[in-house]
Structure 1
Amino acid sequence: MKSNPTKKQYPDIGTVTYNVSIRSKRISIKVKADGSVVVAMPVYTDISTAEKFLLSKSEWIKAAMRRVSKRKQAPKLYTASQENITKFHHLEIGTHASADEVKIFIKNGAVSVFYPQMLNVEDARVQNSIKKGITLALKKESVKYLKPRIEQFAKKFLLPIGEVSFRDNKSRWGSCSGNNNITLNIQLMRLPDELIDYVILHELAHIKHKNHSPAFRKYLDTLLGQNSRALEAKIRNYSPYL
């Protein structure tokens, strides 16, 4: 069951979309990659209750919107070769004599991008090719590293994990469905190990707790062996945008 969305305007936030869905177990707020705000509501939750929750989180929402706006205004440029562009790959950028072709190679731990001498490295074609190469490397690494890692943790903590899939998501590091299917963001392969494990264990904790209640937080802390709040603060310094 899913009803038609309700849209409301707020002076400091803009348009907010309220969605009611049978899959929602609690009221949650999401600031999407385009800066729009969506509130997910359980069935039979009235708008006034959801609105009260929204307004109580207004400072968090505005901060999240500022982060999204900053990312949109200042896209990252890759102008030189660099080490550790992903967990297992470095980036090589160079020119070649071809008239108009941008070439991408992923081999021996390198994402290599060669562009025509007539182009500037900041040209959109070159930048898009670099990001495409990095994305391909991240997909390969996710299957190689993240899948065994989450399976290892699921076995260790006796958690009945469903299917594991990978996406290039611009707003979430991971998610866990009602059927315990877990989706992980391939951009995790650019994070430090402790934050990769934090996201994996966060999603595994949702197998037992389909919410962010105090019980969920306590269980996550147990899985991590430390207070999850510190890691949650650290991951806010990273963006899933290339």
Structure 2
Amino acid sequence: MFDASNSPITIHYRPRNRNTYITITHNGEVCVRTPFKELSRVRRVLREKESWINTKLHEITKRVSYQHTVGETILFRGEVVELERFEFLKKKVEKDQNSVNIEKYYHQFYKNEALLTLPSRINHYSKKIGLVPSEIRYKKMRRRWGSCSSSGIVTFNTMMMKLSYEHIDYIIVHELAHLKHMNHSKEFHGLVRTILTDEKKLRSELKAMRID
């Protein structure tokens, strides 16, 4: 249970910010970006948000970890799946004891699945939202699920294939919406919401999911 008076927090001083922003990491760390230097003022803001913070922390403890370890299962499309289902991958993992190579096998597996699965879903939502990328790229990224450049190039993280279709679709719509709004303004989120009515819930869930 989070206690605003005593629980540990990570504070990032941001003098240009107008407001204080609170985020919860995937491992339950409370991070604060604030223009306030005084710890007492930060704690006061946290007390006001204590109920919200505890709700988020509870959600994180309930959520299935979006990590996989080399073994008998693999995370695929939001579910923990027996590795035996993917015989080719299973044979490679069992044959090679080199951890670097095994990591490459998993990455290649997710990339292949992304190339098979994502183009049709991207095309579907592109037509629905009325926005078309100048180019679509797929690669493993460490910090983002996707990105959109000012020239209209949309890049998707192949590790998306760990996620459920619900979250995959959110990432697709999110990046396509950036073709019109290169920011996270109210207009941007409003556009995403015209396609996915539960975008707030999906956005919150994705923030707590670790990319690895």
Q: Same-fold call, TM > 0.5?
A: yes
| Aligned match of 1:47 | none
Rounded to whole Å, the distance in 1 between the matches of 2:83 and 2:105 is: 9
Mapped contact 1:167–1:185 kept (Cα < 8 A): yes
Q: Which of 214, 222, 225 in structure 1 is aligned with 2:194?
A: 222
Alignment of 1:15-164 (within 5 A): 51-53=15-17, 56-57=20-21, 59-60=22-23, 63-64=24-25, 78-82=69-73, 84-87=74-77, 91=83, 107=88, 112-115=92-95, 126-164=98-136
Rounded to whole Å, the distance in 2 between the matches of 1:143 and 1:215 is: 30
Q: Which of 180, 205, 209 in structure 2 is aligned with 1:234?
A: 205
CA-to-partner distance for each residue in 1:181-221, whole Å, 9 max, x for gaps?
Answer: 10000110000000000000001111111111111111110
Relative to structure 1, the CA distance from residue 171 to residue 214 in structure 2 (aligned partners, 3 Å threshold; closer, same or farther) is: same
Relative to structure 1, the CA distance from residue 194 to residue 137 in structure 2 (aligned partners, 3 Å threshold; closer, same or farther) is: same
Amino acid at match of 1:81: E
CA-to-partner distance for each residue in 1:41-61, whole Å, 9 max, x for gaps?
Answer: xxxxxxxxx73228733x43x
The 3-state SS of whatever aligns with 2:16 is helix
Paired residue total: 163
Relative to structure 1, the CA distance from residue 170 to residue 205 in structure 2 (aligned partners, 3 Å threshold; closer, same or farther) is: same
Rounded to whole Å, the distance in 1 between the matches of 2:75 and 2:26 is: 27
Mapped contact 1:174–1:203 kept (Cα < 8 A): yes
TM-superposed deviation, 1:112: 3.6
CA-to-partner distance for each residue in 1:145-165, whole Å, 9 max, x for gaps?
Answer: 112211221123321221000
% identical aligned pairs: 27
Mapped contact 1:77–1:127 kept (Cα < 8 A): no
The 3-state SS of whatever aligns with 1:113 is helix
Looking at secondary structure, tell me which structure has more strand per residue.
1
Question: What TM-score do you get using the length of structure 1 for normalisation?
Answer: 0.57
Extract unaligned runs of 5+ from structure 2.
1-9, 30-66
Mapped contact 2:25–2:208 kept (Cα < 8 A): no
TM-superposed deviation, 1:12: 3.8
Looking at secondary structure, tell me which structure has more helix per residue.
2
TM-superposed deviation, 1:77: 6.9
Name the larger-Rg structure: 1
Moved over 6 A (4+): 65-68
CA-to-partner distance for each residue in 1:8-56, whole Å, 9 max, x for gaps?
Answer: xxx9449xxxxxxxxxxxxxxxxxxxxxxxxxxxxxxxxxxx7322873
Q: Does 1:183 align with 2:155?
A: yes
TM-superposed deviation, 1:126: 3.7
Q: Which of 130, 152, 177 in structure 2 is aligned with 1:205?
A: 177
Task: Let me know the Cα RMSD of the aligned residues.
Answer: 3.2
Rounded to whole Å, the distance in 2 between the matches of 1:79 and 1:205 is: 36
Question: What TM-score do you get using the length of structure 2 for normalisation?
Answer: 0.64
Rounded to whole Å, the distance in 1 between the matches of 2:189 and 2:68 is: 37
Relative to structure 1, the CA distance from residue 168 to residue 54 in structure 2 (aligned partners, 3 Å threshold; closer, same or farther) is: farther
| Aligned match of 1:44 | none
